[in-house]
Structure 1
Amino acid sequence: MKAPLSWIREHVELPPEATPAELTARLTALGLKLESLVSPGEAITGPLVVGRVLSLVKEPQKNGKTINWCQVDVGEANGTGEPQGIVCGAHNFVEGDLVVCVLPGAVLPGDFAIAARKTYGHVSAGMICSAAELGLGDEHDGIIVLPAGAGEPGQDAREVLGLDDAVLELEVNPDRAYALSIRGIAREAALAFGTAYADPAGREVPPADGAGHPVVVDDPDGCPVFVARTVSGFDATAPTPDWMAQRLTAAGMRPVSLGVDVTNYVMLELGRPIHGYDAEKVQGILGVRRARAGERLTTLDGADRALSTEDLVVTDDSGVIGLGGVMGGQATEISDTTTRVLVESAHWDAVAMFRTGRRHKITSEAGKRNERGVDPAICEAAADRVVELLCELGGATADPGVTVVGAVPAPATVELRADLPARVTGLPVDEATTRAHLEAVGCTVRGDGERLEVVVPTWRPDLTDPYDLVEEVARVVGYDQVPSVLPPAPAGRGLTAEQRMRRRVGRTLAGAGWTELITYPFVGPADWERLGLPEDDPRRRTLRIANPLSAEEPELTTTLLPGILHALARNVGRGAGDVALFEHSLVFTPDGDERAPVLGVDRRPSADEWAAISRAVPAQPLHLALAVTGRAERPGWWGPGRVAGWADVVGAVRDLAAELGVELEVRAATAAPWHPGRCAELRVSGTVLGHAGELHPRVCRAFGLPERSAAAELDLDALLGHATAVVPAPQFSSYPVAKEDVALVVDASVPAAAVEAALREGAGPLLESVRLFDVYTGDQVGEGRTSLAFALRFRAPDRTLAEGEAAAARDAAVALAAERTGARQRS
């Protein structure tokens, strides 16, 4: 909210010595945070004076433009008293007009220095200014023409234009709509300095007599109060006076026409949005109701809008003529030919205003105030103020009839324990202080002793419970007076076993060179197509969000792969070719169609309600996803490097399982979105945790990834369920190791993991490790056969192995492998 200081001073007796900086500091302490404090004239230096146009000669130019060669009386401001010759391209002034002139030596906003210069065959000694050139608005087409009597030639124009008037821009919280007005800010200023306040809405208004324009309100909950006044003989072409235009501009609004400017001015002054209709275009009785299915309205911005049955609308005999409290309709708009104006001052339901504004994507100053809740008790005063200004400035005459439909809702009453402010803030606030401060903000306080009955003012709908009142007392006392007391830290038990294991996951992967990321848990149908998931894949069963951030991603994800693959592609697209990413996060797996009940906030849910809510909440298991592309090892003097592939993601999961004390089984499998034949199934104790491997080429193309990129995803909750909180330290033997290598030929369809498992079991307790170090296919082993070479290492913890022990264990291992997998030892 932008507020000129001179406008505020009209309604509050600020101390003469109070500076704008002091006022803004005190307002900030009360909760109206200062955004900026500016004086429009600060950026202007040098002579800026009032001038009178003595003569004006129009001179057409070869480029088709016509300029005016002007002689302007600037008094003694130019040091000679002689008329100033100035070239001007604007045409909205005539001889005898008072204008604003900037003379050589001055500097305008934007560091635009003014000097005498030759142009269009003349030496132009200065410039006649427009509002835009002085930083007062966006109007470039014409220069500023001052009203007769605004000043004398040569007089400093800063005071005439109000350029020395400080403008406060305050950040107003959504629950404090009263501060979106000069009335509200002036009340806060009076509170800050403890000075007298004159309420601009405190005026005598003519009583309702039923003789005004007829109004019927069919939805009193949506529109509790509707006031209608009419003026006749209005001159719609009358200019908006400069003082009003200056204030509107300073407050951030563009002057349009007198009829519109008056309603905007009163809205800024009182905080009550007003709407004006061309009374001759209104057909019959005004009505207020909810829109009907299929109704449409062309609003003032020219948009043809399909109305919702939840929209509050204003109607006449022709149909809908306005969106109540949000925007009027084009059919009854005030124009240059308007002579009778019907003034509407109505109070609208804040929730309905908010929903209508969002539904139709309309952002207006009126809607901004109505949706936050404004004072319902000043509708008559606001209408009377508009009528007064239309009569005073537009030559209108107020019609005698006054229509008031409905009544102001009763203000809320809140019970407050007198000692609550002291107990909450820690300040020595007694009952008298509490009463005085609540009355200072407009409350009526009844009762005494332990309990107070507080009637909140009509302009403060945000005060609904005792703690709101405590906050009011605290801000008047001063938040800076509240002592800073640290609460005692309760004794803790440290991290849980589950938390330690989850952190171990991140440390293990990060230590191995993987980079952690966090993605949004939102997906859309296009992601399932990119992953190549079949129509019956359970991952396609998702929860749809009622109000998604993006229409393209309206669902909660059941897999981490879309997010991590998009991130991988984004990194590759920005030049990071060698990327290894991991994420562990929740996914959402709905297992039913039960909906959670919608409960109030006035009580705790019952046991049955809580159970119903719990049943409706989907399962949210913790998943882990990894994705890699590019080189795992870069080339250099040490060697050619290595491209990352499926073995890296499988190896990372193996290392993680080992760190958690879990024995992981890896088997060949087929699953989307992995490449058939290059996909591994990850198991623990026979339970499938997830898959890993090389992504399908179509998936790589769909996500914009290099070919042979690899990924893995597994159920981390299930993995951690098999983990041990404390992994036993490895045991080391000081006795020598016995090395035995075997090469086994098996059918190509036999997984190497099955052969390794058989070797490990058959070798017995002396086996320290087994490692596959070579895979061979070719003529020497026959078609459809594969040679797998394993390095077996044997060692006893308490002795040196006797001759033949290692060989016997090897032979036992080979024998079991032959029995289980049909392997034969390669000669």
Structure 2
Amino acid sequence: MRLPVSWLREYVDAPTDPAELERALVRVGLEVEEIVDLGSAVTGSLVVGRVSAVEELTGFKKPIRYCLVDVGRANGTGAPQEIVCGARNFGEGDLVVVILPGGELPGGFGIGERRTYGRMSRGMICSGRELGISDDHDGIMVLPPGAGEPGADARGLVGLDEVVVEVNVTPDRGYCFSVRGIARELAASLGLPFRDPAAAAALTGTPTPAYPARVADPSACDRFAAVAVRGLDPAAPSPAWLARRLTQAGMRPICLPVDVTNYVMLELGQPMHAFDLAALRGGLVIRRADPGEKLTTLDGAVRGLHPEDVVIADDSGVVSLAAVMGGASTEVSGTTTDLLLEAAHWDPVTVARTARRHKLPSEASRRYERGVDPTLPGVALRRAGELLAAHGGGAVGADVLDIDTVPPREPVLLPVDLPARTTGVPYPADRVRALLTLVGCAVAPAAGPESGPDARWEVLPPAWRPDLRDPADLVEEVARLDGYDRIPSVLPIAPPGRGLTDAQRRRRDVARALAEGGASETLSFPFLDPGVWDALGVPADDPRRAMLRLANPMSDVAPALRTRLLPGLLAAVRRNVGRGHRDVALYELGLVFGPPPAAGVPPPLRVDDRPAAADLAAADRFLPAQPQHVAVVLAGDVAPAGWWGAGRPASWADAAAAARTVLAAAGVPAARTALRQAEFAPWHPGRCAEVLVDGEVVGHAGELHPAACAALEVPARTCAAELNLDRLPLPGVVLAPRLSGFPPALIDVALVVAEETPAGAVHAALTAGAGKLLESIRLFDVYRGDAQLGAGRKSLAYKLTFRAADRTLTAEEAVAARDAAVAEAAARTGATLRGA
């Protein structure tokens, strides 16, 4: 919200010192973007000039005009000033703003004398944008007749003697999108009287309405008011002071009716719209749009309407996209003499959705979607009618339309000691009452004790504060107005314990292990396009497709919550590869979301205190399952090539190794884990392993299917693993290992098994058969050869390490343990010793 301080001072005696003004606004929680002294931005002679002659120069790529401008004695000679200008919105006799040589415009743009387009140019005729007072650069500023004599200082005429403050209004403070709202906050901050511009009497409805209308959907519009203004002079210009204030507020003056409605919106916070009364056909209806309806809005665009859009229609069809933008068919034009002024109160959610759906943010929608005071329409109509009558010669009609179905405000029950208990500041009860009254609330004792811990107040928030709904909102207002700086900063005492839960410690250990293995952590948005499962080749009945759709997604492209991490991680791989990173190793830990376990609407939960256990349990039934997953994706080389030799591309074995790294970091003993060949999209059927813990599948690892890689535009033979961390058992108390000082016995065995026998099954059999003397086992070679082993056979060579804690093993003991291990492998898998 941008506004001149002089406008603000009409309603509160605001300080003139910019630093003091900024401190006062920040004290009540308003973010000050900047305070600009417009006069200091332009130096040198800025004067009024009268255009004496205009010569059109030809032969150039764009229109150029050579002008003689009377600037009085400001140039020291009294002779007409020669100026070359490209603007065409002025003519001979017009008063313009001229900066003479030696001056400087905002941005350090110095003005001098130079020859251009074959003529001398001494100075510049200025636009509002060049002067830094508006964004309007369509043409130069033309002053109204009689604004000043040539040569007079122009700073006061264009508002360059003004200080402008710009405030960043947060979404919950919509009432500050007005001079009225900011002046009220400033008065509260400084303890000064506030002169409310809305205190004037409002227009009230009459038995005969100003124009026939009905509201078909009161849930979208609970108040609709209108009044007619007839006999307006269509050529009447906006007064200079009004146009100047609009310009300083960042709005472009257009014509008197539009400027007046914009001015009242900035002053009171109530958006308005002016219809050309002669263009309306039949009575007005406020309703939802019908399927297939279209509207040409004021910007000239033809917009297809959505059934949720609220519109204003007459017998000819839709004439306005309510609360967002009017229609071109009833636009005020240069021949309009009769107006219908409209001010209403619209549903904020509906307005916000309409503005976003049509990508049409406007000053009106920006205010309506944050909440507008429903008591303002009558005040705004009176104010706008008076301005039009005073400056346009119109007559305000005696009949007023006012359809008012605004529900009564509900009081909020506030425990008297809640502000003190929440903030830690001992607010006296009288102080709390005074601060809430300052906000505009009506405070009265509630039924029950008048003092003590059970004392409560009934607090009725003002109409302009729709954000005050709960006791917590009122506590925030007390803290804000009393000063956030008075709330002490106290470091909480850490509770006794380890600091991290077992699950938190497991997540950190897994992340650290993957990072130490060379992977980089990434975070993806938890939103997915359901069509990604088609690209990945996931069957139609797969539970991963049961995604929870968002009612108001951040993007229409990704409207559902993810059920797996892998799609988002593959998108990150695609972006990295697209930016030149050929070798990628990424991992992510995060929540995935299942479908909601219960249908219906969850029960409302209280916010003034902790909800009851039964209420929390009932609400939890509507929450989807949210298990913690970890995923790893490898593309390109895992070992780079160089002078030392060739590189090694990532393979399914690296994905399987990453899965084993996760299991080891999570504290799952190797004896309880296994990898088993499986078929599971989007992995390659012949290069996919399911990861098991205690016989239960907890994830998958391997090489992705070529079709999935092509569909998601990731490198061929990309490998990945994804595990459900919540399915892994939490590690118990870890006992320090007992280290033996006795030497180990190292024995290698090579076993021949059928080609389809998993190495993991052989590993498990050897481990079970070797007994307690086995310290470690490692597969170090796999050999195939039809001539040596026979068709369909393979050799698995293992290195077995035996050690006793209390003695040196004898050769006989080590061989006996090895033989027991081989015997168990033979019994389970049919293995035979190679060469036996």
TM-score, structure 1 as length reference: 0.90
**Quick one: which amino acid aligns to residue 799 of structure 1?**
R
Which residue of structure 1 lines up, in the alignment, with residue 484 of structure 2? 479
Q: Does 1:790 align with 2:779?
A: no
Please point out which of 396, 399, 420 is paired with 2:397: 399
Q: Which moved more, 1:296-305 or 1:326-335?
A: 296-305
In the alignment, the residues of structure 2 paired with residue 282 and residue 103 of structure 1 have an alpha-carbon distance, to the nearest angstrom, of 50
- Aligned residue runs from structure 1 range 228-377, under 5 A: 228-291=226-289, 295-307=293-305, 310-377=308-375
Q: Which moved more, 1:445-454 or 1:557-566?
A: 445-454
User: 1:780 aligns to what SS in structure 2?
Assistant: helix
User: 1:336 aligns to what SS in structure 2?
Assistant: coil
Residues 382-430 of structure 1: per-residue CA shift (max 9 Å, x gap): 1122112222222222333333343776555445555555555555644
User: 1:559 aligns to what SS in structure 2?
Assistant: coil
Which residue of structure 1 lines up, in the alignment, with residue 508 of structure 2? 503
In the alignment, the residues of structure 2 paired with residue 803 and residue 408 of structure 1 have an alpha-carbon distance, to the nearest angstrom, of 95
| 1:266 Cα offset (Å) | 1.0
In the alignment, the residues of structure 2 paired with residue 217 and residue 598 of structure 1 have an alpha-carbon distance, to the nearest angstrom, of 35
Please point out which of 575, 584, 603 is paired with 1:579: 584
Which residue of structure 2 lines up, in the alignment, with residue 751 of structure 1? 758
In the alignment, the residues of structure 1 paired with residue 203 and residue 783 of structure 2 have an alpha-carbon distance, to the nearest angstrom, of 103
**Quick one: which amino acid aligns to residue 752 of structure 1?**
A
User: 1:375 aligns to what SS in structure 2?
Assistant: coil
| 1:633 Cα offset (Å) | 3.1
- Aligned residue runs from structure 1 range 812-823, under 5 A: 812-823=820-831
Q: Does 1:665 align with 2:687?
A: no
Q: Which moved more, 1:526-535 or 1:487-496?
A: 487-496
- Which blocks of at least 5 consecutive residues in structure 1 are unaligned? none
Q: Tell me: CA distance 1:773–1:136, structure 2 relative to 1, closer, same or farther (3 Å).
A: same
Please point out which of 702, 713, 730 is paired with 2:722: 713
In the alignment, the residues of structure 1 paired with residue 203 and residue 550 of structure 2 have an alpha-carbon distance, to the nearest angstrom, of 52
| 1:454 Cα offset (Å) | 4.5
Which residue of structure 2 lines up, in the alignment, with residue 768 of structure 1? 775
Q: Does 1:652 align with 2:658?
A: yes
Please point out which of 178, 186, 189 is paired with 1:189: 186
What root-mean-square deviation, in Å, do the aligned CA atoms of Structure 1 and Structure 2 show?
3.2
Contact 1:377 1:408 in 2 (8 A): no
Contact 2:56 2:64 in 1 (8 A): yes
- Aligned residue runs from structure 1 range 391-540, under 5 A: 391-406=389-404, 410=408, 412-414=410-412, 416=414, 421-422=419-420, 424-427=422-425, 429-445=427-443, 450=451, 454-492=459-497, 494-540=499-545
In the alignment, the residues of structure 1 paired with residue 724 and residue 575 of structure 2 have an alpha-carbon distance, to the nearest angstrom, of 25
Q: Which moved more, 1:802-811 or 1:146-155?
A: 802-811
**Quick one: which amino acid aligns to residue 751 of structure 1?**
P
Contact 1:597 1:612 in 2 (8 A): no
Residues 620-657 of structure 1: per-residue CA shift (max 9 Å, x gap): 33333222233333345655454332222323333443
Q: Does 1:595 align with 2:596?
A: no
Q: Tell me: CA distance 1:343–1:536, structure 2 relative to 1, closer, same or farther (3 Å).
A: closer
In the alignment, the residues of structure 2 paired with residue 149 and residue 258 of structure 1 have an alpha-carbon distance, to the nearest angstrom, of 18
Q: Tell me: CA distance 1:774–1:570, structure 2 relative to 1, closer, same or farther (3 Å).
A: same
TM-score, structure 2 as length reference: 0.89
Please point out which of 788, 813, 816 is paired with 1:780: 788
Residues 646-688 of structure 1: per-residue CA shift (max 9 Å, x gap): 2223233334434514222223333332333332232233222
Q: Tell me: CA distance 1:204–1:553, structure 2 relative to 1, closer, same or farther (3 Å).
A: closer
User: 2:788 aligns to what SS in structure 1?
Assistant: coil
Which residue of structure 2 lines up, in the alignment, with residue 555 of structure 1? 560
Residues 691-710 of structure 1: per-residue CA shift (max 9 Å, x gap): 22222333333333333332
Q: Tell me: CA distance 1:193–1:515, structure 2 relative to 1, closer, same or farther (3 Å).
A: closer
**Quick one: which amino acid aligns to residue 12 of structure 2?**
V
Q: Tell me: CA distance 1:806–1:11, structure 2 relative to 1, closer, same or farther (3 Å).
A: closer
Contact 1:596 1:613 in 2 (8 A): no
Contact 1:584 1:625 in 2 (8 A): yes
Contact 1:98 1:145 in 2 (8 A): yes
Q: Tell me: CA distance 1:88–1:689, structure 2 relative to 1, closer, same or farther (3 Å).
A: closer
| 1:202 Cα offset (Å) | 2.9
In the alignment, the residues of structure 1 paired with residue 182 and residue 791 of structure 2 have an alpha-carbon distance, to the nearest angstrom, of 90
Which residue of structure 2 lines up, in the alignment, with residue 156 of structure 1? 153
Residues 107-138 of structure 1: per-residue CA shift (max 9 Å, x gap): 22333221111234432221222223223334
Which residue of structure 2 lines up, in the alignment, with residue 6 of structure 1? 6
Contact 1:86 1:127 in 2 (8 A): yes
Residues 206-246 of structure 1: per-residue CA shift (max 9 Å, x gap): 66543452434345554444332212221223333332222
Q: Does 1:70 align with 2:79?
A: no
Which residue of structure 2 lines up, in the alignment, with residue 643 of structure 1? 649
User: 2:197 aligns to what SS in structure 1?
Assistant: coil
**Quick one: which amino acid aligns to residue 386 of structure 1?**
A
In the alignment, the residues of structure 1 paired with residue 414 and residue 770 of structure 2 have an alpha-carbon distance, to the nearest angstrom, of 80
In the alignment, the residues of structure 2 paired with residue 747 and residue 524 of structure 1 have an alpha-carbon distance, to the nearest angstrom, of 44
| 1:597 Cα offset (Å) | 2.3
Q: Tell me: CA distance 1:11–1:318, structure 2 relative to 1, closer, same or farther (3 Å).
A: same
Q: Tell me: CA distance 1:22–1:705, structure 2 relative to 1, closer, same or farther (3 Å).
A: same
Q: Tell me: CA distance 1:464–1:631, structure 2 relative to 1, closer, same or farther (3 Å).
A: closer
| 1:484 Cα offset (Å) | 3.5
In the alignment, the residues of structure 1 paired with residue 222 and residue 443 of structure 2 have an alpha-carbon distance, to the nearest angstrom, of 26
Q: Tell me: CA distance 1:428–1:346, structure 2 relative to 1, closer, same or farther (3 Å).
A: same
User: 1:280 aligns to what SS in structure 2?
Assistant: helix
Q: Which moved more, 1:90-99 or 1:598-607?
A: 598-607
Contact 2:100 2:124 in 1 (8 A): yes
In the alignment, the residues of structure 2 paired with residue 526 and residue 456 of structure 1 have an alpha-carbon distance, to the nearest angstrom, of 47
In the alignment, the residues of structure 2 paired with residue 667 and residue 220 of structure 1 have an alpha-carbon distance, to the nearest angstrom, of 63
In the alignment, the residues of structure 2 paired with residue 465 and residue 781 of structure 1 have an alpha-carbon distance, to the nearest angstrom, of 79
| 1:43 Cα offset (Å) | 2.9
Residues 273-302 of structure 1: per-residue CA shift (max 9 Å, x gap): 111111112233334345556655443334
In the alignment, the residues of structure 1 paired with residue 825 and residue 550 of structure 2 have an alpha-carbon distance, to the nearest angstrom, of 53
**Quick one: which amino acid aligns to residue 740 of structure 2?**
S
In the alignment, the residues of structure 2 paired with residue 455 and residue 536 of structure 1 have an alpha-carbon distance, to the nearest angstrom, of 54
Q: Which moved more, 1:25-34 or 1:363-372?
A: 363-372
Q: Tell me: CA distance 1:71–1:301, structure 2 relative to 1, closer, same or farther (3 Å).
A: closer
In the alignment, the residues of structure 1 paired with residue 755 and residue 331 of structure 2 have an alpha-carbon distance, to the nearest angstrom, of 83
Which residue of structure 2 lines up, in the alignment, with residue 800 of structure 1? 808
User: 1:132 aligns to what SS in structure 2?
Assistant: helix
- Aligned residue runs from structure 1 range 713-732, under 5 A: 713-719=722-728, 721=729, 724-732=731-739
Contact 2:769 2:825 in 1 (8 A): yes
Contact 1:599 1:605 in 2 (8 A): no
| 1:251 Cα offset (Å) | 1.0
Residues 315-373 of structure 1: per-residue CA shift (max 9 Å, x gap): 33444433333332332221122111111122334344334434544322112222322
Q: Does 1:700 align with 2:709?
A: yes
Please point out which of 619, 624, 630 is paired with 1:624: 630
